Amino acid sequence: MLSRSILSRQFRQTASATASLVSRPASSSLSSTPAFQSFFRATVAQRRLLSDTTRQAITKAVASAPVVLFMKGTPETPQCGFSRASIQILGLQGVDPEKFAAFNVLEDSELREGIKEFSDWPTIPQLYVDKEFIGGCDIIVSMHQSGELAKLLEEKKVLAVEEGEGKKE
């Protein structure tokens, strides 16, 4: 699968470049100390509140590219079957790697919990197109099958330019 390998390389770059945007404010040095973490875990009520810093970081992440996937693992090594299926579909659809960013929620526990609150969606993966929440894996699959996803991605002009239409790399 040619398109997939091209995507992967780009995905990694985009993801790592933009991920630092998120992980910096989302995991301050305070939150990474064990004491803070256990306190955080114990205070359930507090855990459900999305802090301003986390919200800002997620807002930035969502806006970091026209197509954004919050997933478990990376595009090349997804850590969950649902994340794998989602990334494969985006690859099949021919999403332009330059217009895509992936965020690994396993790298940041605040992002992992925060994104659920932010989207009001209980599971990962989560797909955003043009800052709009599209859905999780089942919705991505069903939109892929019905042709809705192809239509949406085309409308948003986020597909890679087809070969022969210029733009060589």
Residues in contact with another protein by the rule CB under 8 A:
48, 79-80, 82, 120-123, 133-139, 142-143
Q: How far is the CB of 113 from another protein (least distance, A)?
A: 10
Q: Which phi-psi region, left, alpha or beta, contains residue 23 (left: φ > 0; alpha: ψ -120 to 50)?
A: alpha
Residue 96 or 130 with smaller CB distance to another protein: 130
Q: Is the Cβ–Cβ distance between 48 and 86 less than 8 Å?
A: no
Q: How far is the CB of 150 from another protein (least distance, A)?
A: 16
Q: How far is the CB of 132 from another protein (least distance, A)?
A: 10
Residue 6 or 106 with smaller CB distance to another protein: 106
Residue 30 or 42 with smaller CB distance to another protein: 42
Sheet with 100-104, strands from edge to edge, namely: 100-104, 67-71, 126-129, 132-135
Residue ranges of alpha helices (H) inside the chain are 2-26, 34-42, 44-48, 52-62, 81-93, 109-119, 137-146, 148-155
Q: How far is the CB of 72 from another protein (least distance, A)?
A: 8
The position carrying tokens 């990694």 is 12
Residue 60 or 156 with smaller CB distance to another protein: 156
